[in-house]
Amino acid sequence: MKSKKDIIKLLAIHKNDVGSTEVQIGILSEKIKYLSNHFKKFKKDKHSTMGLTKSVNLRKKLLQYLSKKNPKAYTDIIKKLNLRK
């Protein structure tokens, strides 16, 4: 799992950027990868399933927002994070 600092460095727009849409999408993507691996061991963990669902839905909304507001940044982040769209 990548550290939060590495994700922020990779996706930050400017030097002090820690909360832009791109950074939030990157952090959520790492959280989703971690939880997906977690479920390979613990299949009956229902509370974490809810957290995964919320994270996926939030990332989906942020991606929709970014695609409307800045299509170029949207395509860049899809390529950097290797997401399907």
CA–CA gap between residue 56 and residue 36 (Å, rounded): 11
Task: Kindly state the percentage of the chain with pLDDT values over 90.
Answer: 75
Q: What's the whole-number mean pLDDT along residues 56-70?
A: 97
Looking at residue 20, the DSSP 8-state letter turns out to be S
pTM score: 0.90
What is the second-level CATH architecture of the domain 4-81?
Orthogonal Bundle (1.10)
The answer to whether 56 touches 34, Cβ cutoff 8 Å, is no
Give the pLDDT band (50/70/90) at residue 42. very high
The tens digit of pLDDT for each residue in 11-33 reads: 888 889 889 999 999 999 999 99
Looking at residue 56, the DSSP 8-state letter turns out to be H
